[in-house]
A and B are shown apart, each in its own frame.
Chain A
Amino acid sequence: NAGVTQTPKFQVLKTGQSMTLQCAQDMNHEYMSWYRQDPGMGLRLIHYSVGAGITDQGEVPNGYNVSRSTTEDFPLRLLSAAPSQTSVYFCASSQDGNQPQHFGDGTRLSIL
């Protein structure tokens, strides 16, 4: 009963490096999302997907790419990391658009 699994839990990058944050869910949920949490700002939506092969931008998409080739996985890619992307990243999933989202435990990312 894993739910939403995010890897890695912690990561330190240098400016300009690329990286993929992994997210997998075993609940056969159609909807998946990525959020970032910064101090004093709550969680903000980066990208989301309503099903395999379908993705769309959220509130703060710049600097991030996503793809949804399977129902289970929704990776988030940082193409060229910047210090402003230092944050805690949360992945979430839900059965559909009317169900509450289940969150992973987050990836803490630091960009030096």
Chain B
Amino acid sequence: DQQVKQNSPSLSVQEGRISILNCDYTNSMFDYFLWYKKYPAEGPTFLISISSIKDKNEDGRFTVFLNKSAKHLSLHIVPSQPGDSAVYFCAALVEGGGNKLTFGTGTQLKVEL
């Protein structure tokens, strides 16, 4: 039972364009959401997060949108750069629940020149 789903295994965009990565969740108890970025042979690194009391959080080129009624969140990267090529994981947790992350399966983003 996959509680956090990333239905696109891969995404390819051109440099300078917008990258949109999507994530859906089924557990209505989740109230905090994070995006992690992962390069090969490295551990995931934290990118950006959003609390369920917000619908948008922005940090430089990265913006996360949350639609609670649809149980959907998305990560926008504008403009996309070749260094953004990596696997992006969506993760969710219940605040106060021991910081236990439930991860999606990841989306491989390739930014082409």
Q: A82-112: which have CB < 8 Å to B?
A: 90, 92, 94, 96-106
Q: B29-50: which have CB < 8 Å to A?
A: 34, 36, 41-46, 49
Asked whether B25 is an interface residue with its Cβ less than 8 Å from the other chain, the reply is no
Hey, which chain B residues are within 8 Å of A19, CB to CB?
none
A-B contact count (CB 8 A): 65
Q: A20-70: which have CB < 8 Å to B?
A: 31, 33, 35, 40-45, 48, 50, 56, 58-59
Shortest Cβ distance from A43 into chain B, in angstroms? 4
Shortest Cβ distance from A44 into chain B, in angstroms? 7
B99 touches A42 (CB 8 A): no
Question: What 1/0 mask marks residues of chain B from 61 to 80 whose CB sits below 8 Å from any chain A CB?
Answer: 00000000000000000000
A100 touches B100 (CB 8 A): no
Q: B1-56: which have CB < 8 Å to A?
A: 4, 6, 34, 36, 41-46, 49
Hey, which chain B residues are within 8 Å of A31, CB to CB?
98-99
Shortest Cβ distance from A100 into chain B, in angstroms? 4
Interface residue tally for chain B (C-beta within 8 Å) = 25
Asked whether A4 is an interface residue with its Cβ less than 8 Å from the other chain, the reply is yes
Hey, which chain A residues are within 8 Å of B100, CB to CB?
33, 45, 48, 58
Question: What 1/0 mask marks residues of chain A from 1 to 17 whose CB sits below 8 Å from any chain B CB?
Answer: 00010000000000000
What 10 pairs across the A-B complex have the smallest Cβ distances? A103-B43, A42-B103, A100-B46, A97-B99, A43-B103, A42-B105, A105-B43, A103-B44, A31-B99, A104-B43
Hey, which chain A residues are within 8 Å of B6, CB to CB?
42
Listed in ascending order, the chain A residues whose CB lies under 8 Å from chain B are 4, 31, 33, 35, 40-45, 48, 50, 56, 58-59, 90, 92, 94, 96-106
Given A90-B43, A90-B44, A101 contacting B95 (CB threshold 8 A): no
Q: Which of A41, A90, A101, A106 contacts B99 (CB 8 A)?
A: A101
List 29 A-B residue pairs with CB atoms under 8 Å apart, sorted by A's residue number.
Answer: A31-B98, A33-B99, A35-B101, A40-B105, A41-B105, A42-B4, A43-B91, A43-B101, A43-B103, A45-B100, A45-B102, A48-B100, A50-B98, A50-B99, A56-B98, A59-B102, A90-B43, A92-B43, A96-B99, A97-B97, A97-B99, A98-B95, A101-B46, A102-B46, A103-B44, A105-B42, A106-B41, A106-B42, A106-B43
